[in-house]
């Protein structure tokens, strides 16, 4: 097990090192997030609908779009560097490869969310202070869910035309449970409702995460092995 994790970390570290060398994907995702939040701001009428009602949806739509931008880079980068074959020839287990990519994607999306959340609070003046911890918790849970599926699917689309577009189309139905759960919990948190009301959604998110990380780990070898 530790071997698996160590190898996964080797892969993830390499990915993150590469990403920080070039920085294009990260910067694009951050700029994109800021832009989307800005556009949302001008697209609403604060007198008609209270910010607090729209806020969770705005936050999560922004996060999901930014995440989807990030997902394709994972295997695209291997293809571009002609390294995928090398990874498969090496003793690297397929599970470690998937977990490594998943980890790198999670760090990437987490960075975008870490910048996006304060921006969101700033632009929309939402009170997150008291609920910061559970809010971060639900952000983490939902993110793991859709990044897990997204990482798997990104391996399916690498050699297709319009890979980014196809990835989004394939992924959207899978985003719905974590998205609904995240929005519902966020809405309750921001509305000052007791945590116990959101218990069902938390359970759904956790079940989704466990289920799909396990399934993706199981299925990933079929995407790279002949």
Partner 1 sequence: MSLAQTGRRITLLGLVLLAGVYVRALAFTPLERFQGPAQKIFYLHVPAAWSAMLAMGLVGLCSILYLIVKDARFDRFAAASAEVGTTFSLVMLTTGPIWAKPIWGTWWTWDARLTLTLFLFFLFIGYLLLRGAVVEPGLRARYSAVLGICGLVLLPFIHLSVYLFRTLHPQPIVLKPSAPSLPGSMLVTLLVSFAVFTLLYVGFVTQRYAVGLLREAQGKEHA
Partner 2 sequence: MVALDNVSFSLEAGQTLAIFGPNGAGKTTLLKVLAGLIRPDAGRATVAGGRGAIGWIGHQSHLYGHLTVRENLLFWAALYAVPATIRATRADATLRQLGIADRAEQARWSLSRGLAQRAAIAKALIHDPPVLLLDEPFTGLDLAAAAEFRALLARLQGAGRVVVLATHNVGEGVELATDVAFQRRGRFVHFAPRGARGPAQIADEYRRAVGEGEGEGEGEADD
Selected binder of partner 2 within 52, 87, 136, 163 (CB under 8 A): 87
Selected binder of partner 2 within 45, 47, 173, 226 (CB under 8 A): 226
Residue 159 within binding range of partner 1, rule CB under 8 A: yes
Burial class (CB in 10 A: 0-12, 13-18, 19+), 122: exposed
Residue 33 to residue 196: CA distance in whole angstroms: 31
Two structure tokens written together for 202: 């938390």
* Measured CA distances, 73 to 18, 36, 67, 92, 148 (Å): 11, 21, 11, 20, 14
Residue 177 within binding range of partner 1, rule CB under 8 A: yes
Of 198-217, which residues contact partner 1 (CB under 8 A)?
200-201, 204, 207-208, 211-212, 215-216
| Inter-residue contact 201 to 185 (CB < 8 Å) | yes
Burial class (CB in 10 A: 0-12, 13-18, 19+), 205: buried
The piece of 65-73, 82-90, 130-138, 153-161 that touches partner 1 (CB under 8 A) is 153-161
146 binding partner (options partner 2, partner 1, none; Cβ < 5 to 8 Å by kind): none
Which ranges of 72-198 does DSSP label H, i.e. alpha helix? 73-80, 84-89, 94-124, 132-157, 163-190
Residue 21 within binding range of partner 2, rule CB under 8 A: yes
Residue 160 within binding range of partner 1, rule CB under 8 A: yes
Residue 181 to residue 139: CA distance in whole angstroms: 10
38 binding partner (options partner 1, partner 2, none; Cβ < 5 to 8 Å by kind): none
Residue ranges binding partner 1 (CB under 8 A): 149, 152-153, 156-157, 159-162, 166, 169-170, 172-174, 176-177, 180-181, 184, 200-201, 204, 207-208, 211-212, 215-216, 219, 222-223, 226
Residue ranges binding partner 2 (CB under 8 A): 7, 10-11, 14, 17-18, 21-22, 80-83, 85-92, 225-226
């Amino acid at each position: 097990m530790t071997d698996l994790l160590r190898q996964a970390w080797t892969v993830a570290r390499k990915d993150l090192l590469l990403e920080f060398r070039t920085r294009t994907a990260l910067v694009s995702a951050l700029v994109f997030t800021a832009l989307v939040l800005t556009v949302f701001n001008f697209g609403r009428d604060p007198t008609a609908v209270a910010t607090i009602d729209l806020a969770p949806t705005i936050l999560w739509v922004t996060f999901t779009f930014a995440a989807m931008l990030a997902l394709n880079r994972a295997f695209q980068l291997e293809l571009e560097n002609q390294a995928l074959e090398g990874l498969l020839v090496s003793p690297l287990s397929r599970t470690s490869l998937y977990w490594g990519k998943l980890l790198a994607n999670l760090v990437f999306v987490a960075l975008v969310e870490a910048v996006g959340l304060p921006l969101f609070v700033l632009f929309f003046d939402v009170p997150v202070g008291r609920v910061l911890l559970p809010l971060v918790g639900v952000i983490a849970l939902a993110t793991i869910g859709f990044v897990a599926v997204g990482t798997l699917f990104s391996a399916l689309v690498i050699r297709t035309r319009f890979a980014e577009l196809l990835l989004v189309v394939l992924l959207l139905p899978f985003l719905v449970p974590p998205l609904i759960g995240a929005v519902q919990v966020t809405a309750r948190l921001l509305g000052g409702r007791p945590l116990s009301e959101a218990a069902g959604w938390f359970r759904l998110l956790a079940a989704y995460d466990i289920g799909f990380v396990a399934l993706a780990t199981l299925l990933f070898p079929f995407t790279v092995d002949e």
